[in-house]
Structures are given as structure tokens and as C-alpha cells.
Amino acid sequence: MKKPSSLSFVFPMYNEIDNIEPCVHGAMAIGNKLGIDYEIVVVDDASTDGSGALADQLAQRYPVIRVVHHEVNRKLGGALKTGFAHATKDYILYMDSDLPLDFDDVKNAIPQIGDADMLIGYRLTRDEPLRRKVISKVYNLMIRLIFGLKVRDVNFSFKLFKREIYQNIVLKSEGSFIDAELLLEAHRRGYTIREIGFVYHPRVAGQSTLASTSVIKKVFVEMWRYYKERSSWQNKHTEAVASRHLS
């Protein structure tokens, strides 16, 4: 058990007018209870429901909150890359802003990163529509079979990691493949990943678009792009090793 030395909470946000205030209050309660140096980075991904203005009001009230606004909607990947780039603490914790986790569970989980470089969550319960369950199961299986990444729940929105990981990789995905890309790149560079289970709470306000056809299509397009790039890297590495042996 080891608390992070300092922590940046990163919340991507799109039209979460009913969720963002309890979300940041929950994060503040965690930071205060753990007694660590923390900040909260909210990325307003061109919201249209007033949640961006509400986040600005919260930032004026609480100095630990910073809000970054996108002029155009860049989806999950774009929002996370912005949030990670604006994080300044030694560790980053990314969670969704639609309150999928009990904040007491999050507080108890954070010290369990221990000596690992990254701590990621997985669902202990799946109280969600059948379509989303099937999509998630198939997607996780594909990531395991194609890339050899053996984790339970690639897209689960609890990822706590050393900021140096982000500084040492290049994330390109703009859509929801960003979760897999972050894990794959961390794993490829030898960072250690630990898993922890959470009780998952479906959103009670707002609307999720993560299982929409357009989002799924973008995931597969970006996954294919990453697969081709990774194959190219591996081929170049193999050629370089062979060249050294021949010389």
C-alpha cells in the first residue's frame, strides 16, 4: 500500500450538467481524505448543455480545479490527451465524469497501486444493456488475441498511472481506442500494470454514446491503424536485430 506522492484527477466531460459538480466534489473529498497534493483537470469537450460554464464556476470557487475547453468536440481520445497534457502531478487518475464508481471505493483503491506503474479497474458487476455487454466482451477478447494484452476490462474508466508513462509514449487515438492504446503502449515499454475490481454503477443522468455505431466504427478504424503501425515497428526491430547479427 502506497499513496501517490501527488495526483492529477482527469475528467473528460461532454454534456454532464447533472454529474460534473458531484464528480469534482467526490474527487476533492478523496484528495483531502488521503492528505495528498492534488489537482482536478476537467476537459470540457465542447459541451452544449451548460456544463462547461458550470465547471468554470466550480473552478472559480475551488482553486484545485482547472477547466480546459475544446472549441470543437474531439471525442474521448482527444479529451483525454488534452487532460493528460495539462496534468502536472506525479500520478494521473482518469475516470469518467458520469459517476460510474463509488468515491469511497476509489479512495480505498488508490493506495493499492503500490510499486506498480499503473493500476486499472475492471467491473465486478455488469448491470448494463445486453448490446453493451456483448460489445465489451468481444472487444476485450480481440485486444487479448490480437495484441496479447491480458487484462480483464480494457475500457474501464479507472486508470491510475505515473505521469512519466504519458511523457514516454505518443497517443494518437481520438476515439475510444485511447484506453487500449494507453495500456498497449505502457505494456510495450515494460511498465507494470496491476488490476483491481470495482462495483460498476450505470449512469443515472445524461446519455452515453459509447455503444453507438459511429463510436464503435471509429474504435475499429483506430485499432487497425495501430495494428499496422505496431507491425511496422516490429518488422523494423526484427530487421535491425538481423542486421546486427550479420555484421
CATH fold group of domain 6-246: Spore Coat Polysaccharide Biosynthesis Protein SpsA; Chain A (3.90.550)
Per-residue pLDDT tens for 59-115? 999 999 999 999 999 999 999 999 999 999 999 999 999 999 999 999 999 999 999
Domain boundaries, given as residue ranges, for the chain: 6-246
This prediction's pTM: 0.89
Distances (CA, A) of 34 to 104, 185, 234: 11, 29, 42
pLDDT band of residue 208 (cuts 50, 70, 90) is low
* Number of residues assigned to the chain: 247
- Cα torsion at 211, 87, 85, 143 (round to 10°)? -40
